[in-house]
Structure 1
Amino acid sequence: MGDLVNLNKARKAKAKVAARAQAAENTVKFGLTKAEREAEAARAEKAKRDLDGHERE
């Protein structure tokens, strides 16, 4: 006779694995590293400063 399996636990474990796989896929698809986010923020700030500087001239 086989081992007894709690179907509720098995269902939840399967959903958890699927959610982690989806999260990993989304990280690759949409995510930026911390360095990339900081670089983008620095570029945006520099562009804003440059634009503000040209308005005063």
Structure 2
Amino acid sequence: MADIVNLRMARKARARKLKEAEAEANRARFGRPKAERLKMERELERAARIHEGHRRETPGEEA
């Protein structure tokens, strides 16, 4: 026999879990010092430039 579940409590527990996940994502995104954030942005831009530099042809150019 299955356990009886109070749906109101289950909904609230699910909402708390989703809120905590969102808070964790926000802490990771906004909880860093400016210098660290700028360094990460520069690294991502550099990686994108390197990736684009290895293309065989430019986008929009048809072979």
- TM-score, normalising length: structure 1: 0.53
CA displacement at 1:24 relative to structure 2: 0.5
What is the CA–CA distance in structure 2 between the aligned matches of 1:27 and 1:3, rounded to whole Å?
36
What is the match of residue 16 of structure 2? 16
Greater Rg over alpha carbons, structure: 1
- Partner SS state of residue 5, structure 1: coil
- Partner SS state of residue 10, structure 1: helix
Paired residues in the alignment total 35
What is the CA–CA distance in structure 2 between the aligned matches of 1:6 and 1:20, rounded to whole Å?
21
What is the CA–CA distance in structure 1 between the aligned matches of 2:27 and 2:2, rounded to whole Å?
39
CA-atom RMSD in angstroms: 1.9
Q: Where in structure 1 do 4 or more consecutive aligned residues deviate above 3 Å?
A: none
What is the match of residue 5 of structure 1? 5
Gaps of 5+ in 2: 35-63
CA displacement at 1:31 relative to structure 2: 1.3
Counterpart of 1:4 in structure 2: which amino acid? I
Overall identity of the aligned pairs, in %: 44
- TM-score, normalising length: structure 2: 0.49
